[in-house]
Structure 1
Amino acid sequence: MSHLGMRGSNLSDSSENESSDDNAASGPPQRKRHHSMFPHSEENFEIQDESSSDSQDEFSHMPNINEFPTTSKNNFTNNMVQYSEEPNVKGNTAQKIMERMGYKAGRGLGKHDQGRVDPVEMSKQRGRRGLGLHIPGLEAATLVWKSDLEVITHEEHVHWLEDEEHSSLAAEIMEDWIVEGKPKLVIDDETNFCDSNILRNVISGKNVFDQLDPHEMMKARTRSNPFETIRGGIFLNRAAMKMANMDKVFDFMFTKPVDEMGESLVAPGELLYFADVCAGPGGFSEYVLWRCGWQAKGFGFTLRAQNDFKLSNFYAGHCETFETHYGVGGSEGDGDVFKQENINCFSEHVISQTNGQGVHFMMADGGFSVEGQENIQEILSKELYLCQFIVALCIVRNKGHFVCKLFDVFTPFSVGLIYLMYKAFRKISIHKPNTSRPANSERYIICKWKRSDSTAIKEHLINIHEQLQECRKIAKDITEVVPISVLNEDRVFFDYIVTSNNSIGEKQVIGLVKIAAFCRDINLIEPLQAEIKKKCLDYWEVPDKARTAPPRISETSKCEQLLKNSSIPSNVFSKEEIELKPTMMEGVFQSVYDWHCVVLGSSRERKNCTFYLGMGRNKVYRFEEGRWRKVVELIELSPDTLFYGEIVQELHGEGRSQRKIPILHIIDAIFLGGKDISKRHITERLKLCHKFCQALNKSTRTDLMPIRTKQLFDLEYIDQVFDRLKMRSVKNADCYIPANLAIFGPYTDQIYSGVNALLHTSPYSSSAASGEGMYVPRQQPLHPGSDEKVVIVFNTKITISYLGTWSKEEALPLLNLQVKCVAGPSIPECAICLQMCVHPAQLPCGHIFCFLCVKGVANQSKKCAMCRQEIPTDYLEKPQLLEQSNVEKVAGEFDDGYQWFYEGRNGWWQYEERTSADIEEVFKLGEPSCEIMICGVLYIIDFVKNHQYRKHDPTKKRRIKRDLET
């Protein structure tokens, strides 16, 4: 993104030239003024608040610029300001004295009327202007700005354009639409899509400032724009605040994308993928990363050198999950979006990094200097429009979004491109946010929900680009990509474009005139700037703070700060692992279903497992010998990250060609990018770790050490670990290698790692380990729907077994334990209701619960209460029941065959046998109520009112009754 300014006066809103210091002052919103000089009624004139209809034209209240006289290029300016009153000297004492001395109006004083006739004028000198300098349009020093011309509000209304009668465009038809012609160098005659007077007034307004000193114009613009003091706020530049503005106005459709049904477009466990194209220094991306944190991964594509991303200046949003790519050559490319090969290379990279789907949304904010040619900025930017649209159609996934900066939209070429995007997405909107300066022609096209049938349009745009480049070699140009007749036929689209151009043009004219008036009078100020700033930032949900660099803090203080409010004991760093030996197994593993394990590359002689602390970028530390030491290897971690891991040597190939690549493996985590995950179940923690690694890894940065997450194995399936091992030839030694390479992650067939040990961990305490201080007091399993959560201690250093002293045969007692747990003579205990299983059902993961408890979990969290693995959607239809409980004895305990029932949607239903027996027992004791665990949820049984309701939600009640079984 390059600087776009007016010659001699920067009216552009491009943030390319805005430094990170562009943050300050107070500011924001709401002024409603009547344009009394225009024949508008009050109800049609004022901006409506939230109650206003979206169908109402956004600018119906604006003054009719078409009525302005245009006999000269500056008359429209003079019609929007008024003359201040000249000093009235008639009728005063001095006038009477002069009349007695012979003074006559219109004649000079003196014997021969030779004196001065006109009074001495007030000085029109401004700043460092040369004496006698005459600037057309700015010469009347007595003109005064009429503030009731503009309407200021912090809220904005969106107007969507939807193709309700959509039909796919055929490639053969679109090929015939392209029209070639001579290069166009003027825009004055482009009145097909706007009012001619508005176009003429916009051009005239820009011409006023051609000879004005840039510094003087900039000061006038700063004083006149009510939104000027918002600046960049906490962000790198104003572009970031524009994105914050648009994201809020469009209901966070970018940072929280949803489909037509309101369901999130980001799948569970998936990152939010976005792309930032032609957008250096990266304000848009900084906002997204600030809003979403490390759970968003970005891909940047822009020009190198002075227009590149300034990642080191990302203070609000951290850049560790942002990957730059410059087309051909990856990180070494030039980033020129005009080169189709760069677009193709960047698109392939993005698709490969997003599982073949593409990004959820793309942002484009491209621009370049048009100094001296401001009036034809649209014509000069046509190829930029085209290329940004091509990139969007290449990398945005189906139902994804797109936002792109435009300037004027007067030519058939630009309108034709917008028409094609209108056909490629379900909805589009052309919007000028408050953060875009009113005096410039900047606006944004927002495209919502990409259609699946847009491939033909993408290929057509690529063909247009190739043809455009060929035409320029022979001094020709493409003037139309969609015939004007086709655009006219779609009256909804045509009217939308005309209305949008006229509305934005009217605003622009008023903004230009206001700057002119503020240039004439350096004492004019905009009094609402402070109020506007506050209201806008509150509305956009952005803190009203100044931009500051991250504070410097020692690694020890940072670690203490992180652990201060967490559940992790302070002595976690000083604990040593317990070496597990075959003779200890039965004492430690009382239930194999309570344990998990991961494979390690560490050995007894070389222990690499330790804690890692990330403080942003390459400021990564590891805990060694009782202190934090800077990691020598080049690793990048998000700030406020603390996890337990090890560096493993991955082996590529065998024999002489074998290479060792160091990889950082995460075993378990406490904090990930400032997010405390220590209280989550270990399987959830590792899923977040895997997601964290996906966000951090960058295939274009071969200098960075990759990061992976250990694969977690259920201990009852430990035989799978041994089955996967085999011997391979390794330089200087032999070691166990995973045969199918699934232990350490999704590697290729030529990449593998040595396995030297198993690390065992359990989410529940045991008496064998509690004496070592490695666990908190025993916690009950997680009950779906209850307020109580399992407190998972960061207990990765529990037991460790070194495979150098083990064999598969020595691990078989673990399998025997598994058989004993499942096939023993007693009915297993349900970990949800904490009672013996009734109708015990075994999930695919191996854990056993009551069938009704499984039903409750499946209808709520849909995950196993022990290992958090997903429960198949059809499990309740095809459950795996181990045995049927003996319920005849229970039924016999009731008097005269009575049973307990609850009212459901389709009548009365009988309680499960054990629950019914428990209710009957309390009922016979004469108690008014009791608490019963049903399907893992605690219920209150009220015998007085004959109601059942959840303990923590008494609003949802069911009727109950005691009746004979029929």
Structure 2
Amino acid sequence: MHTRRGNGRYPRPNNHHPQINGPQVAMPEDVIGRQRIQERPTLLECSPRRRDMLLGTDMKEWMTFGSEKDFTETPADFIDADQLAQFLKLTQQKHEEHISEQVKFTLHNRANPYEDIRNLCFVSRCGPKLASLDKMFDFRITGETDYKKRAAKTPIVDGLHADNTLSRDDPPFIFADIGGAPGGFSDYILWRKGFYNAKGFVSFATSERSFGYNHSRMLPGNAECLDFHTGPVENGNHNCVENVDAYINHVKSELRRHNPDGEETVDFVGAFMCLTRDGHEMEQEFRHEKMLLGNIVTGLSLLKLNGNMLVRVFDLFTPVTVGLVYCLYLAFKQIAVVKPITCRPGNSEQFIFCEKLTPFGATIIKDHLTEVLCSWDDLPEGETVASLVPLTLMKDDARFFDYIYKHNMTTVDRQTRYIQFYLLCARDQRIRVPDSDKIIKVALAHWELKPCPRKGKPRFHQIPDIKAIIAMYADEHWNPETFTAKPSNFNLSDFNAATSFYASELDFPAVEFALVAINSTGTVFYAIDAETGFVETQFTGPPSSIFLVENNPSLFAPDMDQLVIHDAAVLSGDNLADLPFPQRMKVARKFAITAIMQLPEGTNVKLTVPEIKEISVLQITENQKIAESCRISRKDSSFWANLIPGGSWLKD
């Protein structure tokens, strides 16, 4: 019978403490169990007075330069020197074990109970990883702090279907994903936001030393809410000014293109770009210093005031890395450095949650770090930035120094003991952590996730046949045998003077319309009349969508650059057909901002929704130009009834 100790969560696998090179090796419950599933971050807040003290400072003088270093020169300014030396020695020992990738995979499963979570329904392990972080910060990463809305869109109770009713009127959530390959971070955000409620701008690298982006395996509908971009210089990594500027300009131009009157900023930035380990685990912190700087400059340049940012980091020992953390501490209202239990406990991956960007961060800190990046680009080979914030300034800030020192001591202690246990597992095949199934079940419930297969996803019925999609959503007004999308004709005798109508202006007066339908795999079809029927196109778009657009000579031609939506029945699986016409158009505007419709080669089509205005019966009947230049819709008519030109829906 197992005995328990500590918090009683995990049973002890045996009753002895093996030795590896002398020091006693902790048991799994010491390594894993001490970090509870219900993680609580320690937040670090910068006082406004400290920012005021730095106003007018010439931060260019903060920069120093030197020659490139390796891990043997890692300084001990923010950690105990003996503990750092032991950690580096043990890490090198692990690296020199030369364990094959297949054996590493087995070891991860045996030594870490959270390994079996894998990717769940997401494209990679980054999905559950971000879910645990989101929960840790009370869902402030995705902005889903309202439990009722969250539970409606992403139900974890079997038998419940996703419902967007409570979130339709929320503004779109715009985010930047900087190098979050292979896509699990964006996959989670778009799943948590649901339907058409979010849009992401993804920056990805093309180097073999960087992780690739696998959007084809994302949850259905998610890739159709992502705009992909890579930098023009070499592999596209954010370690040079040209690539950083190119991505910033791309995001801002796309935001202007889809919403000319809106802000050119995003609600959230995920700064995740990193290199593959590639046999250089010992130098990860040094290798990522410049890329981390580029990621942060990008984030500060795009994030709105009071917006949040999540930054992936590795070890926090060098003056450059800790200096960047100090700049984030100054730039945001508060930050927290965390290593969630979904990160492998033996590696150095960590995250910094930065909450509420301040004006000081959006201007002074952003400008300083941009200047550092520009200076770094101009350095000769072999030279590097040695520091970007004076070491004395960081050490004299007792609140900051104590926070980083304590975090490093705690994190390195846990990582050291886990590496010892990992090496023990490599030498003894009988050892593994207990109760992983039970641990995972508790963790998923806490993060508001549930196991789900890669197929049969929520939100979208797996129906590739477009006629079946139409039949599933249409009501009794739909007749595929008599369908035509010609403009409505009006007769004064059909109207009651109190009837309420809305007019949406046409780009091409007196045009026909086309019914656009997108099946469950994202293939776009359109129909103009019953005789021609639905025509399959080369375009892709958000699955399970049905809406009405203007027909024009370039409709779904390779050079088409715009679609004008005049009504919507279903958008990304959200059935709007019975909502009042003004509300359907409001939702369609949100969809036009977040949805991506494109050709196979990646050319995006701009979706627009015209403004609507309420008009009277007399205005329609006395002004022929209105009937010719506008589409007339009845306020309280369903989409399918509104589709019938001059039909019975016009009569009271």
Pairwise same-fold verdict (TM > 0.5): yes
Counterpart check, 1:287 vs 2:188: yes
Look up the match of 1:470: 378
- In structure 2, what residue type is equivalent to 1:796? N
- Give 3-state SS (helix, strand or coil) of 1:153's partner: coil
Over 3 Å counting, the alpha-carbon distance change for 1:628 and 1:193 in structure 2 is farther
What is the CA-CA distance between 1:662 and the residue it aligns to? Answer: 6.5
Look up the match of 2:369: 461
Distance in 2, matches of 1:635 and 1:430, equals 43
Q: Is the 8 A contact 1:217 1:515 kept in 2?
A: no
Question: Unaligned 5+ residue runs, structure 2?
Answer: 10-16, 147-166, 256-261, 648-652
What is the CA-CA distance between 1:320 and the residue it aligns to? Answer: 0.9
Counterpart check, 1:666 vs 2:549: no
Look up the match of 1:59: none
- In structure 2, what residue type is equivalent to 1:462? T
Q: Is the 8 A contact 1:282 1:311 kept in 2?
A: yes
Q: Is the 8 A contact 1:761 1:795 kept in 2?
A: no
- Give 3-state SS (helix, strand or coil) of 2:401's partner: helix
Look up the match of 2:164: none
What is the CA-CA distance between 1:371 and the residue it aligns to? Answer: 4.1
- Aligned residue among 680, 700, 707 for 2:607: 707
- Give 3-state SS (helix, strand or coil) of 2:143's partner: coil
Aligned length: 594
Look up the match of 2:520: 615
What is the CA-CA distance between 1:560 and the residue it aligns to? Answer: 3.1
Distance in 2, matches of 1:612 and 1:591, equals 35
The 5 A counterparts of 1:188-203 are 190-203=75-88
Per mean C-alpha deviation after superposition, the further-off stretch among 570-579 and 499-508 is 570-579
Distance in 1, matches of 2:89 and 2:624, equals 77
Look up the match of 2:171: 270
- Aligned residue among 303, 310, 314 for 2:205: 303
- Aligned residue among 320, 337, 350 for 1:443: 350
Distance in 2, matches of 1:470 and 1:47, equals 56
Look up the match of 1:502: 409
Counterpart check, 1:594 vs 2:479: no
What is the CA-CA distance between 1:502 and the residue it aligns to? Answer: 0.9
What is the CA-CA distance between 1:576 and the residue it aligns to? Answer: 5.8
Over 3 Å counting, the alpha-carbon distance change for 1:661 and 1:369 in structure 2 is closer
Look up the match of 1:957: none
Q: Is the 8 A contact 1:592 1:715 kept in 2?
A: no
Distance in 2, matches of 1:148 and 1:240, equals 26
- Aligned residue among 298, 311, 314 for 2:218: 314
- Give 3-state SS (helix, strand or coil) of 1:471's partner: coil
Per mean C-alpha deviation after superposition, the further-off stretch among 188-197 and 510-519 is 188-197
Over 3 Å counting, the alpha-carbon distance change for 1:351 and 1:416 in structure 2 is same
Q: Is the 8 A contact 1:644 1:669 kept in 2?
A: yes
Distance in 1, matches of 2:623 and 2:269, equals 45
Look up the match of 1:184: 69
Select the structure that is richer in helix: 2
Distance in 2, matches of 1:509 and 1:353, equals 46
Over 3 Å counting, the alpha-carbon distance change for 1:799 and 1:375 in structure 2 is closer
What are the Cα deviations for residues 200-239 of structure 1, in whole angstroms up to 9, with x where unaligned? 2222222232134223343222201011100101011101
- In structure 2, what residue type is equivalent to 1:610? L
Counterpart check, 1:556 vs 2:467: yes
Look up the match of 1:518: 425
- Give 3-state SS (helix, strand or coil) of 1:548's partner: coil
- Aligned residue among 292, 311, 328 for 1:404: 311
Over 3 Å counting, the alpha-carbon distance change for 1:481 and 1:73 in structure 2 is farther
Look up the match of 1:429: 336
Look up the match of 2:25: 80
What is the CA-CA distance between 1:451 and the residue it aligns to? Answer: 0.6
Counterpart check, 1:684 vs 2:569: no
Look up the match of 2:45: 162
Q: Is the 8 A contact 1:287 1:316 kept in 2?
A: no
Distance in 2, matches of 1:478 and 1:793, equals 61
Over 3 Å counting, the alpha-carbon distance change for 1:176 and 1:73 in structure 2 is farther
Counterpart check, 1:761 vs 2:633: yes
Look up the match of 1:236: 123
What is the CA-CA distance between 1:640 and the residue it aligns to? Answer: 1.3
Look up the match of 2:138: 251
Look up the match of 2:539: 635
Distance in 1, matches of 2:246 and 2:513, equals 39
Over 3 Å counting, the alpha-carbon distance change for 1:620 and 1:201 in structure 2 is farther
Over 3 Å counting, the alpha-carbon distance change for 1:572 and 1:644 in structure 2 is farther
Look up the match of 2:153: none
- Give 3-state SS (helix, strand or coil) of 1:794's partner: helix
Over 3 Å counting, the alpha-carbon distance change for 1:601 and 1:380 in structure 2 is closer
Distance in 1, matches of 2:486 and 2:200, equals 42
Counterpart check, 1:395 vs 2:340: no
Counting aligned pairs with the same residue, the percent is 23
- Give 3-state SS (helix, strand or coil) of 1:191's partner: coil
- Give 3-state SS (helix, strand or coil) of 2:540's partner: coil
- In structure 1, what residue type is equivalent to 2:22? N
Q: Is the 8 A contact 1:648 1:663 kept in 2?
A: no
Q: Is the 8 A contact 1:646 1:664 kept in 2?
A: yes
- Aligned residue among 410, 417, 440 for 1:533: 440
Over 3 Å counting, the alpha-carbon distance change for 1:719 and 1:348 in structure 2 is farther
> For the aligned residues, what is the CA RMSD?
3.6
Distance in 1, matches of 2:217 and 2:107, equals 29
The 5 A counterparts of 1:361-376 are 361-376=268-283
Distance in 1, matches of 2:250 and 2:463, equals 36
Look up the match of 1:326: 230
Q: Mark the structure with the bigger radius of gyration.
A: 1
Over 3 Å counting, the alpha-carbon distance change for 1:717 and 1:478 in structure 2 is farther
Look up the match of 1:207: 92
What is the CA-CA distance between 1:722 and the residue it aligns to? Answer: 10
What are the Cα deviations for residues 155-206 of structure 1, in whole angstroms up to 9, with x where unaligned? 1111110013442434643222112223222346521101223212222222
- Give 3-state SS (helix, strand or coil) of 2:399's partner: helix
The 5 A counterparts of 1:724-739 are none
Q: Is the 8 A contact 1:315 1:549 kept in 2?
A: no
Q: Is the 8 A contact 2:523 2:539 kept in 1?
A: yes
Q: Is the 8 A contact 2:174 2:200 kept in 1?
A: yes
Per mean C-alpha deviation after superposition, the further-off stretch among 272-281 and 150-159 is 150-159
What are the Cα deviations for residues 619-660 of structure 1, in whole angstroms up to 9, with x where unaligned? 43437426853433x433211112233323589xxxxxxx99
What are the Cα deviations for residues 899-952 of structure 1, in whole angstroms up to 9, with x where unaligned? xxxxxxxxxxxxxxxxxxxxxxxxxxxxxxxxxxxxxxxxxxxxxxxxxxxxxx
Over 3 Å counting, the alpha-carbon distance change for 1:147 and 1:326 in structure 2 is closer
Distance in 2, matches of 1:385 and 1:32, equals 43
- Give 3-state SS (helix, strand or coil) of 2:563's partner: strand
Distance in 2, matches of 1:534 and 1:627, equals 53
- In structure 2, what residue type is equivalent to 1:310? N
Distance in 2, matches of 1:254 and 1:592, equals 48
Distance in 2, matches of 1:365 and 1:724, equals 57
- Give 3-state SS (helix, strand or coil) of 2:534's partner: strand
- In structure 1, what residue type is equivalent to 2:248? S
What are the Cα deviations for residues 124-179 of structure 1, in whole angstroms up to 9, with x where unaligned? xxxxxxxxxxxxxxxxxxxxx57545425321111110013442434643222112
The 5 A counterparts of 1:919-930 are none
Q: Is the 8 A contact 1:759 1:796 kept in 2?
A: no
- Aligned residue among 97, 102, 112 for 1:225: 112
Distance in 1, matches of 2:45 and 2:568, equals 46
Distance in 2, matches of 1:448 and 1:588, equals 58
Counterpart check, 1:352 vs 2:249: no
Over 3 Å counting, the alpha-carbon distance change for 1:498 and 1:793 in structure 2 is same
- In structure 2, what residue type is equivalent to 1:213? I
What is the CA-CA distance between 1:667 and the residue it aligns to? Answer: 2.1
- In structure 2, what residue type is equivalent to 1:299? F
